[in-house]
Structure 1
Amino acid sequence: MLIAATLRGVEEPVNGPRPQAILLTFLGGYLLGRGEHVAMSSLIAVLAGAGVSEHATRSTVSRMARRGQLRRVRRGRQVYVGLTPTSRAILRDGDRRVWRTDVVNPRWDGTWTLLSFSLPESWQRQRNALRSRLLWAGFGPLQGGLWVTPAPVDVQEVCAGLEAAVHVRAFTARALEPTDVAEMVRDAWDLPALADRYRAFRARWTGERPVLPDPLAAQIVLQADWLDVIRRDPRLPAQHLPPDWPAVPAQRLFRELYAELDQGARRVARDVLDVIPDEEAAGGEVVRG
């Protein structure tokens, strides 16, 4: 759930995904698992195609480097950007969510994960950080400090590094009479709003799609947009969703479009990316600040 820690400071997009989401999407698709550093000039060029200004790219990279999420080294006059153990974990988490998790749970055994917490009033920042992690992990607020999700969850991983972790209590349980599970689902999650997000995604990417300069930019914006849609989806059991639930068609559209763009995107990446092996980057001058 580490990606939630990275995204917790990112507000809801107004006109598309934020620069940090765009950057993470690119790094996950074209740097993760390759043992390479990419030139800052390449990042600026790629993100510009996705609508991110040079200033926003530089400030986002600097902020993530200060947090230990990126590593910058200088080779001559060029600065190269590489991943750290923290960013690799973030990107692997995002990869699992995008590619290895279905938006509907067809085989639910009726078990809920329950998590409760009570924090001092002065712990607003810690409360927001915990809630962000819980939303990414698929939890919904049921009442007071009680959150629930129908999925098995590694609560220790969700709470890793949070001050609030010492105040968390977690359980697994099954609903008993007279609990109305359908009503509980409606209370914990705003299903109409979530359905609207999936419908809006389909509307944006069918017919007249966003105008972008090349397949790489289109693929990056597509995936960043999809990640923004699914990051609050609890992946509820099929029996507790409306029959016309739009998530599955939206997921099918995302994967079809991604595959359609992939060959062209990789061709553009080969042409524009200036990369060096990680071991060579390690011999460069580390950029501080």
Structure 2
Amino acid sequence: MEDDDILDAQDTSEGPQPRPQSLMLAFFGNHVLEEGDVGVYSGSIIDVLGRVGVGEQAVRSTLTRMVNRGLLRRRREGRRMFFGLTPQATRVLQDGRTRIWQQGAVNDDWDGSWTLLGFSLPDSWKRQRHDLRSRLTWSGFGALYSGLWIAPGNIDVSGVVEELGLAAHVKIFHAQADVATDIELMIRDTWDLESIATRYVLFDKRWTAHLDAGAGDDPIGTRLRLVSEWLWTIRADPRLPARHLPPEWPARPAQETFRRVADHTAGPAREMAHELLETTRMR
């Protein structure tokens, strides 16, 4: 199970449509992650995900698939089934929480350092290559060359490499660019800035319209869509140093809009979750 799979979404004319698994983990990140060893009744999950357009059968099949892939665990109490997080899913959600609430989308304090990762894998290792590239992308790396990836800052990806079993095939360095290197050109050549900027612009447009339309009466569904879309928006952004990005980079206004909606829905969503969700301890 890879982080990019969790955060994947389908683009439509109305914006990204997160897959049921993305919405499921956003749900657990919103309402379970900070509660400790808690499981949620499947009927409660069906209710909440139904508010964002996921049908009962899709919820049930997603729950089963996520249990099989080691992302959720279940506990039966009588005729009711409860679902809680595994350590793997907790890691992914904690990483996402750091990206959303601690790091943010704007990198104003870059220290000039870069992390470089070189790898050479056998041609037959297609899955391993896909997994490594996916995890590197989520960690902020871009392909400087086919087997040499780079990320701004001092990034610790040793755990990712060990987890994938690729330590013998990967070399990691931390360095600074020589004065002869045109950093802005390197950034434009390594990352698709236009695509990243477009995600922010569209997110800002959609959610500014939501704010202008008023609060609505479903804060738990609104917050679920908000967090899922924001994770999809930032997943391709390596938090490049702000001073080397084009003027009027749209990440800042998009992040301000995200936080405004998040602040507006936090309390009401928490109260609604307390009323709607039936939970138990996953002893």
Give the structure-2-normalised TM-score.
0.92
Question: In structure 2, what residue type is equivalent to 1:26?
Answer: F
Distance in 2 separating the partners of 1:5 and 1:199: 27
Which residue in the other structure is 1:39 paired with? 41
Which amino acid letter does the alignment assign opposite residue 240 of structure 2?
L
Deviation at 1:85, TM superposition (A): 1.8
Residue 213 of structure 1 and its aligned partner are, at CA, apart by 6.3
Partner of 1:167: 169
Does 1:264 find its partner at 2:268?
yes
Q: Shift of residue 165 of structure 1? A: 3.5
Q: Which residue of 1 aligns with 2:232?
A: 228
What is the alpha-carbon distance in structure 2 between the residues aligned to residue 155 and residue 10 of structure 1? 19
Bigger mean CA deviation after superposition, 129-138 or 100-109: 100-109
Q: Give the conservation status (yes or no) of the 8 Å contact 1:126–1:163.
A: no
Residue 5 of structure 2 aligns to which amino acid in structure 1?
Answer: R
Aligned residue for 1:178? 180
Looking at structure 2, the residues matched to 199 and 73 of structure 1 have their Cα atoms a distance apart, in angstroms, of 42
CA contact (8 A) 2:196 2:237 kept: yes
Q: Aligned partners of 1:270, 1:9: CA distance in 2, in Å? A: 26
Q: What does residue 287 of structure 1 align with?
A: none
Structure 2: distance between partners of 1:30 and 1:200: 27
1:184 to partner: Cα distance: 0.5
Distance 1:124 1:213 in 2: 47
SS at match of 2:23: helix
Separation of aligned partners in 2, 1:197 and 1:10? 14
Do structure 1's residue 24 and structure 2's residue 28 form an aligned pair?
no
Q: Find the aligned partners of 1:222 and 1:94 in 2 and give their Cα distance.
A: 14
Query: 2-side partners of 1:115 and 1:17: how far apart?
Result: 30
Deviation at 1:10, TM superposition (A): 6.2
1:48-127 equivalences in 2 (<5 Å)? 48-127=50-129
Structure 1 SS opposite 2:143: strand
CA 1:213–1:257 in structure 2 vs 1: closer, same or farther (change >3 Å)? same
Distance 2:274 2:6 in 1: 32
* Residue matched to 2:4: 7
Please give the residue correspondences for 1:188-203 in structure 2 after superposition, counting only pairs within 5 Å: 188-203=190-205
Cα distance change on mapping 1:190 and 1:120 into 2, 3 Å: same
What is the rounded CA distance, in whole Å, between the counterparts of 1:41 and 1:187 in structure 2? 48
Q: 1-side partners of 2:6 and 2:121: how far apart?
A: 20
Q: In structure 2, do the counterparts of structure 1 residues 24 and 72 end up closer, same or farther at CA, with 3 Å as the change threshold? A: same
Aligned residues: CA RMSD: 1.9
TM-superposed CA distance for 1:144, in Å, is 2.1
For residues 273 and 9 of structure 1, do their structure 2 counterparts lie closer, same or farther at Cα, with a shift above 3 Å needed? closer
CA shift for structure 1 position 129: 0.5
Look up the equivalent residue of 1:174 and give its one-letter code.
Answer: Q
Instruction: Provide the C-alpha distance between the structure 2 equivalents of 1:177 and 1:268, rounded to a whole number of angstroms.
Output: 55
Deviation at 1:166, TM superposition (A): 2.4
- Report SS of the residue matched to 1:14: strand
In 1, the alpha carbon distance for the partners of 2:65 and 2:4 equals 13
Question: Is the Cα contact below 8 Å between 1:49 and 1:212 reproduced in 2?
Answer: no
| Number of residue pairs aligned between Structure 1 and Structure 2 | 276
Could you report, residue by residue, the CA deviation over 1:237-285 in whole angstroms, capped at 9, with x for unpaired residues?
A: 111111200001101110110110122212221221111123xxx3xxx
Q: Residue 128 of structure 1 aligns to a residue in which SS?
A: helix
Deviation at 1:11, TM superposition (A): 4.5
SS in 2 for 1:8: helix
Asked if the contact 1:114–1:171 (Cα under 8 Å) also holds between the matched residues in 2, the reply is yes
Identity %: 45
TM-score under structure 1 length normalisation = 0.90
Deviation at 1:125, TM superposition (A): 0.8
Correspondence for 1:252? 256
Structure 1 unaligned residues grouped into runs of 5+: 283-289
